[in-house]
Amino acid sequence: MDNKLEQIRLSGDGVELIPLERSHREGLLEAASDGALWELWYTAVPSGKTIDRYIDQGQQEFNRGSALPFTIIDRDSKQIIGSTRYLNVELSHKRLEIGNTWYAKSFQRTNVNTECKYLLLKHAFEKLNCVAVEFRTHWHNHRSRNAILRLGAKQDGVLRNHRIDQEGNLRDTVVFSIIQSEWPTVKRSLQFMLK
């Protein structure tokens, strides 16, 4: 594994993950407006007030080598439908997290999440030689927890009072992972789901 993340594009049959850029601002806002996703109290989806900070933070984390943010494009319509990223990257330990993932409401409960995670996991295990890939989510985000389990990840534990949100509420964070030895079976399962 190199000591520096490189910007990459990941392409599947239905989606393309491209490096997050400021030029994606309006498309990201339009995608987030599909379902007013910023209103979900247990997740952080950008709104008109937070989109610039969202993009700037992603680019700053990339420059520090701790994240690689992506914009998700629907290949048929060519429209921006969401965002995801590698984060908490520790290249020296061959570990990273996949997170900050969200999709326009009309693309939720489709193959989009499965294909995005497949592309990200494949690159993490087969190109970056990760030994473990982590997923974290809010205790109250049951839809996300179930989606992570469907991918084949296993729950590692719960970080109690892990974060304090903007309103001062304490967040318990559920941690999941897939380890390198599990990747061949997880890969086969994801490929089957994408047929």
**Looking at the domain assignment, is residue 46 inside a domain?**
yes
Question: Residue 186 belongs to what H/E stretch?
Answer: helix 183-193
Determine the Cα angle at 61 with ends 4 and 141, to 5°: 115
Distance (Å, rounded) from C-alpha 195 to C-alpha 182? 21
What pLDDT sits at residue 108?
86
What pLDDT sits at residue 1?
44
- Its domain, for residue 152, covers 10-193
pLDDT in tens, 44-63: 788 888 899 999 999 999 99
The region of weakest confidence among 23-32, 127-136, 158-167, 179-188 is 158-167
**Residue from 138, 34, 125 nearest 77 by CA:** 34
Distance (Å, rounded) from C-alpha 183 to C-alpha 160? 28
Report the percentage of the chain scoring pLDDT > 90.
79
Question: Residue 59 belongs to what H/E stretch?
Answer: helix 51-64
Question: Residue 103 belongs to what H/E stretch?
Answer: strand 95-103
**Looking at the domain assignment, is residue 133 inside a domain?**
yes
User: What's the CA dihedral at 154, 156, 161, 167 to 10 degrees?
Assistant: -30
**Looking at the domain assignment, is residue 75 inside a domain?**
yes
User: Binning pLDDT at 50, 70 and 90, where does residue 166 land?
Assistant: confident
* Amino acid identity, position 109: R
**At a CB cut-off of 8 Å and minimum separation 6, what does 76 contact?**
14
How many domains are contained in the chain?
A: 1
Average pLDDT taken over every residue of the chain: 92
**Looking at the domain assignment, is residue 178 inside a domain?**
yes
Distance (Å, rounded) from C-alpha 195 to C-alpha 73? 20
**Looking at the domain assignment, is residue 186 inside a domain?**
yes
Instruction: Tell me the Cα Rg of the chain.
Output: 16
What pLDDT sits at residue 109?
82
What pLDDT sits at residue 114?
95
Residue range 78-98: average pLDDT? 96
**At a CB cut-off of 8 Å and minimum separation 6, what does 158 contact?**
139, 172, 173, 174, 175
Distance (Å, rounded) from C-alpha 160 to C-alpha 73? 35
Task: Report whether 133 contacts 177 (CB < 8 A).
Answer: yes
**What is the CATH classification number for the domain harbouring 133?**
3.40.630.30
What pLDDT sits at residue 185?
98
Look at 109 and 138; give whichever has higher pLDDT.
138
pLDDT in tens, 20-47: 999 999 999 999 987 666 766 667 788 8
